[in-house]
Amino acid sequence: MPIATPEVYNEMLDRAKAGKFAYPAINVTSTQTLNAALRGFAEAESDGIVQISTGGAEFLGGQYSKDMVTGAVALAEFAHVIAEKYPVNIALHTDHCPKDKLDGYVRPLLALSKKRVDAGLGPLFQSHMWDGSAETLADNLEIARDLLEQARAARIILEVEITPTGGEEDGVSHEINDSLYTTVEDAIRTAEALGLGEKGRYLLAASFGNVHGVYKPGNVVLRPELLKELSEGVAAKFGKQSPFDFVFHGGSGSTEQEILTALENGVVKMNLDTDTQYAFTRPVADHMFRNYDGVLKVDGEVGDKKAYDPRTWGKLAEASMAKRVVEATRHLRSAGNRIK
């Protein structure tokens, strides 16, 4: 199947919300990690989301120019070709983009998709994220209004992060403290500014104690039940039940019960990066240690070409990351739920 059309992406999100499951959103930084993500979704018979952060796009753009837009466009174009070989629907998304990078990342990508749509084609990406968590809520929502209008014109869904997520993600960092919890008032102000669908569809990354990075279970105090409070507070004021499509950020180390509670309360997308990075790298490290004399030309020897051929260890990395993606689809209950 090809990359999801806007109609299919909307159907994916609607199905997830109605069925109380979520799609893993897998961060990728290369064509190899892209194929690993696609393979995982295919093996799980799950539709899914592949996303590229500003740092990932810069890496993809090559270290000579480090151009984020070039990197994002190149991978997206590759994905549009290669995804047709996988029997699942995949949405392309750009992850965390703070204010100082909007003009060098999201805005040019929105303009590119608008040109495609005006020419009768589909958008290059299906959704983009605006990370205004470092701004005041007023400034955050003012920028979000403008981006939502542009996204709607390009048939794209916007993701907004209205309050901080702890830890660090591509240069955006927040302390781990009590500010990591979105309030009902924050949610109401968001609905007032962005509407509840009539101004364009958006995904909401609300904070319920989420922290980016690597943490063991119990080290982060998550309150996914807070999402229900936010929904009910907005529903009471605006009369629309289940008003938001929630996104779960910083899920590493989350317990199975915390994930299930989040799903029951409206989460349709859960970001996965740290765990898949490790899954990709772990077998590579194992291969290098086990084949030290083969991957290096030690003491003037010639090494073993088959050992240092990137395809040898790359296949191991792809399989391991794909396995972790399958595991994520089972935790989020999207496995077996692909649109046929």
Q: Tokens for 205, please give them.
A: 């990354």
For the chain, the residue count is 340
Q: Tokens for 316, please give them.
A: 């191991």
Give SS3 for 262.
helix
95 is catalytic: yes
CA 49 to chain centre: 7
What does the alpha-carbon distance between residue 273 and residue 141 come to, in Å, rounded to a whole number?
Answer: 26
**How large is the greatest C-alpha to C-alpha distance in the chain, in angstroms?**
75
Which member of 14, 67, 95, 178 is catalytic? 95
Alpha helices in the chain (DSSP H): 6-19, 31-44, 54-60, 68-82, 106-118, 137-153, 184-194, 226-238, 256-264, 274-290, 292-295, 305-308, 310-331
Of 288, 274, 278, 273, give the one whose Cα is nearest residue 320: 278
Q: Catalytic amino acids?
A: 95
